[in-house]
Amino acid sequence: MPDSFEKYSLTWHVTPEVLGVLSINGKFENTNPAWYKVLGWRADEVESKHFLDLLHPDDVERTAQAFETIQTGRPIMGFENRYLHRDGSFRWLSWNCVPEGDRFFCSARDVTEDKRNRANLKNREEEARFREQFIAILGHDLRNPLAAINAATRMLQRREEDADKQQLMTGIQDSVARMSALINDMMDFARARLGNGINLATSSDVSLQKVLRHTLDEIQLAHPDTEFETHFDFADPVVADAMRIAQLASNLLSNAATHGDSSAPVHLHARDVGNDLVITVKNGGTPISTERLAGIFEPFSGSEPDSEQHGLGLGLYIANQIALAHGGRMQVQSDENGTVFTFTLPRG
């Protein structure tokens, strides 16, 4: 063993990194025990071969070029290639090699698992992106035939006098409206996940009290058995996207009415706090578990839709994205006193 390694003999033997002293002729003069642990080769087997003979065929050319580079006196750092294992498989190694005279002192660590994990992550990211692109395309393409169904139903409804048929067509329009809402949720989800964010049409003169009261009226029609209480203490107008704020409030109120205790009222409060407008929606009922709270604003984080739920589990995710698009934030707190969702909107 060269003098350079005498003082580090313990490290030479116990390190998990592959170490070797490579000669100018392309053979290793010395190798440490990690070669056997990582690749299954004994020292005499490694040192009897030209190092290129142990490489994956696809890595030979570029590794030979790297060997030429190091012979000019330049070190090689973080160079990755595949070495043959005794069992016939290949392991990815990441090399650092430093020239010293006519020898090259080399160390490598096994990065096979890292490479595999990165490849798996890339595949999952590509699959997720493909799904989101598919959702965006599907949502876009469904809008036209759905609009045609809605228009045709309205025309027939104007001409039809039979009460039973009128009722059937009203049911069709209700289903179309629900499908349109689902498509809008899919489109918002896809835009947010694909990096484009939620679209805003911000106005500086939004009468938010009117927006919130109109939204509450719609939710009350859908949940006639739920009691709602409101308290507003803020100044209009507000700089915001009125439709998006209505969408956010609708998602929160609908969620509260659906999952809360039906004997307890749902509270909608909005007030100015310093330079912020704070909107809260509170309902009673069983507290949300800590595990669910941790990811409650993630898509599809809710329970599976049941017979009374017609959504995709995207309402809270989209509400959070709307808050972020306005420069605000969503928060949630849940205990035995109730569950409170809070939207904080900066006013300046």
CA–CA separation, 184 vs 344, rounded Å? 24
Q: List, for residues 34-64, the tens digit of each pLDDT value.
A: 999 999 999 999 999 999 999 999 999 999 9
Q: List, for residues 104-145, the tens digit of each pLDDT value.
A: 999 999 999 988 888 777 777 777 677 666 666 666 667 667
Domain shared by 316 and 183, yes or no = no
* 252 and 296 Cβ atoms separated by less than 8 Å: no
Domain shared by 139 and 39, yes or no = no
**pLDDT (0 to 100) of residue 234:** 95
Q: Domain containing 232 — which CATH number?
A: 3.30.565.10
Q: Whole-model pTM?
A: 0.54
Domain shared by 44 and 85, yes or no = yes
**pLDDT (0 to 100) of residue 151:** 82
**pLDDT (0 to 100) of residue 277:** 96
Q: Is residue 224 part of a domain?
A: yes
Q: Is residue 216 part of a domain?
A: yes
* 213 and 250 Cβ atoms separated by less than 8 Å: no
Domain shared by 86 and 164, yes or no = no
Q: Is residue 156 part of a domain?
A: yes
Q: Is residue 189 part of a domain?
A: yes
CA–CA separation, 107 vs 97, rounded Å? 6
- DSSP conformational letter for 90: E
Which tokens go with 264?
């307890």
Q: Domain count for the chain, please give it.
A: 3
Q: Is residue 259 part of a domain?
A: yes
**pLDDT (0 to 100) of residue 194:** 64
Q: What is the DSSP string of 222-277?
A: H-TTS-EEEEEE-PSPEEE-HHHHHHHHHHHHHHHHHHS-TTSPEEEEEEEETTEE
Domain edge (last residue) among 64, 92, 110: 110
Amino acid type, 80: E
Domain shared by 269 and 220, yes or no = yes
Q: In what order do the strands lie in the sheet with 228-233?
A: 228-233, 266-273, 276-283, 338-346, 329-335
Q: Which stretches of the chain are DSSP H helices?
A: 3-6, 9-14, 34-39, 43-47, 60-70, 112-159, 163-193, 208-222, 242-259, 290-294, 315-325
Residue 289 CB coordination number (10 Å): 10
Which range marks the domain in which residue 99 is found?
Answer: 3-110
Domain shared by 22 and 127, yes or no = no
Q: Is residue 198 part of a domain?
A: no
Burial zone of 28 (CB within 10 Å; 0-12 exposed, 13-18 middle, 19+ buried): buried
Which tokens go with 290?
């800590």
Domain edge (last residue) among 142, 163, 193: 193
The low-confidence residues of the chain, meaning pLDDT below 70, are 1-8, 128, 131-141, 143-144, 191, 193-197, 301-312
Domain shared by 131 and 56, yes or no = no
Domain edge (last residue) among 173, 193, 213: 193
Domain shared by 238 and 341, yes or no = yes
